[in-house]
Amino acid sequence: MLIQERIKKLKQEKKALILAHYYEEGEIQDIADFVGDSYQLSLHGQNSNHPIILMAGVIFMAESVKMLSPDKVVLAPDLNAGCSLVEASPYASYLKWRQDHPHAIAVTYINSSAQVKAISDVIVTSSNAQQIIEAIPPDRQILFGPDKNLGQYFKRTLNRDLLLWNGSCEVHVLFSAQKLYQLIQEYPQARVLAHPECEENVLQYAHTIGSTSRLLAEVKESPHTHFIVATETGIFHQMQKVRPDAVIRQAPTETETCGCNNCPYMKLNTLEKIEQALIHLSPRISVSPAVAEFAKRPLDRMIEITQGKSVSWPSHFQLPPF
């Protein structure tokens, strides 16, 4: 039996739901019940009736699913699937930053640890950050972390004075603006699509800047047939599925042979590890209940604002008791 069929059988036996992020390998996306960005994946997990969720993505995504669905067993195929933004925002220094600005609202990218979420006021993804920043009263100071490029992008486009944390995504900073410029000269008919985690010198060439789901929608709906895409390569699988006629090129990185636009953490997941995780119902994601209680509040606030509800904001920072 093929591994794909064995996984399908295990999924049914164990009543498990497989969620996969757009940055996973195509073969993993193809065995998933749902493929999406981290916001869509968290909601899908929360709204499902399955007692077991296998999250093929990185650990902060699996933690978000677990915190929003605490009664479900959440499996991660490889516990080493970290994130450079999580590493760039250690709890102790993020907490100091928060304490240095006690009256600011802390807007934290979902690419962060559960502990950092727990000391934040609202979580954002690249698909809903604009809506969430716009929902914050204009007289409130905003801390935005841990991705400085994403923050810089919203600072410029929303004309809002965000204080930025100094972190970045190790994949998105490797695109080369100079080589992108050269590629555009070669293919002037191509539309350039870029993720806002890229640096500004790359974003300046983009016709469309947006989250994975936004860039995918652009490819699907655009009358153009040529695209140059500056984000992680996993998304190409869905882009090519929705537009088999389109030519989709990777934006170039400084070193051409490095495969630098593949996220090494996302790519730790394999079909074999997924099969093993379903057989043994392990590795499981756990978040300490004290941290989860506080981290769920900014996650809930994100969902409420994204769904068009109005929310209240704390007047100042209070250190959670964990």
Binding residues (CB under 6 A) for ligand CIZ: these are: 21, 37-38, 110-111, 125-127, 195, 211-212
Ranges of beta strands (E only) in 81-148 are 105-109, 122-124, 142-145
8 A C-beta contact, residue 15 and residue 52: yes
In the complex with ligand CIZ, which residue's Cβ is closer, 95 or 173? 173
Q: Find the shortest distance in angstroms from Cβ 22 to ligand CIZ.
A: 7
In the complex with ligand CIZ, which residue's Cβ is closer, 111 or 238? 111
Tokens 């730790």 label which residue?
Answer: 268
Which run of H or E residues covers position 49?
Answer: none
Q: Find the shortest distance in angstroms from Cβ 64 to ligand CIZ.
A: 10
In the complex with ligand CIZ, which residue's Cβ is closer, 38 or 89? 38
Q: From CA 29, how far away is CA 49, in angstroms rounded?
A: 21
In the complex with ligand CIZ, which residue's Cβ is closer, 211 or 233? 211
In the complex with ligand CIZ, which residue's Cβ is closer, 115 or 127? 127
Q: Find the shortest distance in angstroms from Cβ 308 to ligand CIZ.
A: 20
* Opening angle at CA 183, ends 182 and 184, nearest 5: 90
Residue 72 φ then ψ, to 5°? -95, 155
Q: Find the shortest distance in angstroms from Cβ 196 to ligand CIZ.
A: 8
**Strand order across the 73-75 sheet:** 34-36, 16-21, 52-56, 73-75
DSSP structural state of residue 235: G
Q: Find the shortest distance in angstroms from Cβ 211 to ligand CIZ.
A: 3
